[in-house]
Amino acid sequence: MSERKGFTLIEVLIAMVILGVGIIAIFKMFPDSLRQARVAAERTIVAELASSRLCQVRAAGAENLLRSTPSFLSAVTTAAITTTSSERGQTVRMA
């Protein structure tokens, strides 16, 4: 009886099925990760903007806030900054 080296058809088919399941799982995760990256970028922008406004308020000093509204605060209250996250339908408003 001669020895044959190689894979049988069943072994090749099983390997292809396992490989196919893995590739499909990766393709399903790709859009989710893109959406999460976009949401994270939106939140980063809002956090940086809030930090910038807070630094401006601190620089103006508390006594200026009590006497009158500084010009940069009145601009912020008239033009609210809105970021919408389509993932959960949340709206973040900063006024």
| Beta strands in the chain, from DSSP E residues, in sequence order | 81-85, 90-94
Tens-level pLDDT at each residue, the chain (95 residues): 567 788 899 999 999 999 999 999 999 888 889 999 999 999 999 999 999 988 888 887 766 666 655 555 555 544 444 444 444 555 555 54
Task: Tell me the C-alpha to C-alpha distance, in Å, between residue 10 and each of 5, 22, 39, 56, 93.
Answer: 15, 19, 45, 70, 59
Q: How far is CA 46 from the centre of its chain?
A: 12
